[in-house]
Amino acid sequence: MRLSHKTKLAILVGIGILLVVVFMTIDAGGHWDYILPRRGKKLLAILLTGTAVAFSTVVFQTITNNRILTPSIIGLDSLYMLLQTFIVFLFGGTALTLMSKNLRFLLAVGFMVLFAGLLYRLLFRKEGRNIYHLLLIGLVFGTFFSSLSSFLQKLIDPNEFLVIQDKMFASFNNVDTDLLLISLAGVLLMGWYFARFAKYLDVLALGRDHAVNLGISYEFVVKRMLIVVAVLISISTALVGPITFLGLLVANVAYQFLNTYRHHTLILGASLISFIALIGGQLLVERVFTFSTSLSVIINFIGGVYFIYLMLKENKS
C-alpha cells in the first residue's frame, strides 16, 4: 500500500511530537520551573537550525540541479571558523569569551552574508556566467579560508586554541535567548521574502534551459534564492556552529521518503526530518553518551557515510 504525501508528513509530525515530549519530560523529577525554560531554549534552537539548514539545502540543490551539493561548498562554514580564529589570534581567547554574544552573532552573520553578496555580484556581473562558476569559486575560497584558519590556529597559544575548538562543533547547550529571538526574526523574514519566489522552484528543478523557455527570469530568481540560502546558513552557523553534512543528509532522505518533485512538500518534509535528526541526536548526546561527544560529530559521521553511499550510487548509475 502506497502512502500519500500527507500521510508521510503526518508520520513525521507524529515522530517529532513524540521526541519533543520525551525530550521535555525525561528525568524531569517535578522541577518544571527550572527544566522547561532551559530545554525550551534548546528546542527552539534545534527547530530554527533544522529548518534553516533543510530549507536552504533543498533550495540550493534545486538551483544547482545536483542533490550532492550543499550550501557549505561556497565557503560560509570556513569563513565562520576563520572569523572566530582571527579574533582569538589578534585579541586573545578572552576577547572572544567576553565579547557580547549579540555582537559576535551579528559580526558572523554580517561577514558571511557580505562575502556571499560580493561573490554573487562578481559572478553574475558578466553575461555567460552560471551557477557552476559560483560553486568553483566558492570551493576555492572555502579551501583558502580553511587553510588560513589552520595556519593561524598553529600560531596561537594552545590554551587559547581550546576557545576556538569549542566553536568548531555545533552545540545547543548554552544558546542565548537574545540570539534565539534575532535568529527567529531572521528566519521569518527570509521565509516572507522567499514566499514570492516559491512558485518558481518546481520549474527551476527542470534546469536552466527549460526554466528560461517557460518564461522565468532565471538569473533574477536564482540570485534572490541564493541570498535566502546565504542568510539562512549564516544564521544557523552563527547560532550553534557548523554542521556540515546535516543538509545533505536530511534533503536526500526527504527526496527518497516523499518521492515527489513539489517543493512545498519537500521543504516541509526535509525540515521535519532535520528537526527529528537534531532532537534525536541531542537525546543521544545527553542520555547515552552523557556529553562525551557533540551532536555535530554524530551528524557528520552519519552524513559522511551517507555521502559516500550517494557518491557510489551515482558512480554505478
What confidence category does residue 223 fall into, taking pLDDT thresholds of 50, 70 and 90?
confident
pLDDT mean over 271-281: 92
Confidence grade of residue 123 (pLDDT, cut at 50, 70, 90): low
- Position 17 confidence tier, pLDDT thresholds 50, 70, 90: very high
Tens digits of per-residue pLDDT, 67-119? 887 887 777 788 888 888 888 888 777 776 777 777 878 888 888 888 877 77
- The mean per-residue pLDDT over the stretch 184-206 comes to 90
Q: Which domain holds residue 257?
A: 5-315
Global pTM value: 0.88
Number of domains observed in the structure of the chain? 1
With a CB cutoff of 8 Å and minimum separation 6, the contacts of 32 are: none
**How large is the average pLDDT for residues 193-204?**
89
Read off the pLDDT of residues 165-187 as tens digits, 9 standing for 90 and up.
777 777 777 777 778 888 899 99
Report pLDDT digits (tens) over 28-81.
Answer: 777 777 788 888 888 998 999 999 999 999 998 898 888 887 887 777 788 888
Report d(CA 73, CA 143) in Å as an integer: 9
- Confidence band of 265 (pLDDT split at 50, 70, 90): very high
Q: Are 163 and 96 in contact (CB under 8 A)?
A: yes
Q: What pLDDT was estimated at residue 126?
A: 57
Dist. CA 153–CA 248, nearest whole Å: 28
Confidence at residue 83, expressed as pLDDT on a 0 to 100 scale:
83
Q: For 21-25, 104-108, 164-168, 242-246, which range has the lowest pLDDT when averaged over its residues?
A: 164-168
Q: Is the dihedral of CA 279, 283, 289, 293 positive or negative?
A: positive
CA 247/CA 132 separation, integer angstroms? 19
pLDDT, average across residues 157-165:
77
pLDDT at 266 over 90: yes
Which CATH number fits the domain that encloses residue 59? 1.10.3470.10
Query: Integer distance in angstroms from the first to the last C-alpha of the chain?
Result: 28
| 160 vs 19, higher pLDDT | 19
How far apart CA 204 and CA 87 sit, in angstroms, is 40
**Is residue 92 helix, strand or coil?**
coil
Name the more confident of 203 and 122: 203
The pLDDT of residue 132 is above 90? no
Q: How confident is the model at residue 254 (pLDDT cuts 50, 70, 90)?
A: very high
Dihedral (C-alpha) 150, 77, 87, 239: value to the nearest 10 degrees? -140
Q: Which of these, 116, 62, 73, 65, lies nearest to 267 by C-alpha position?
A: 62
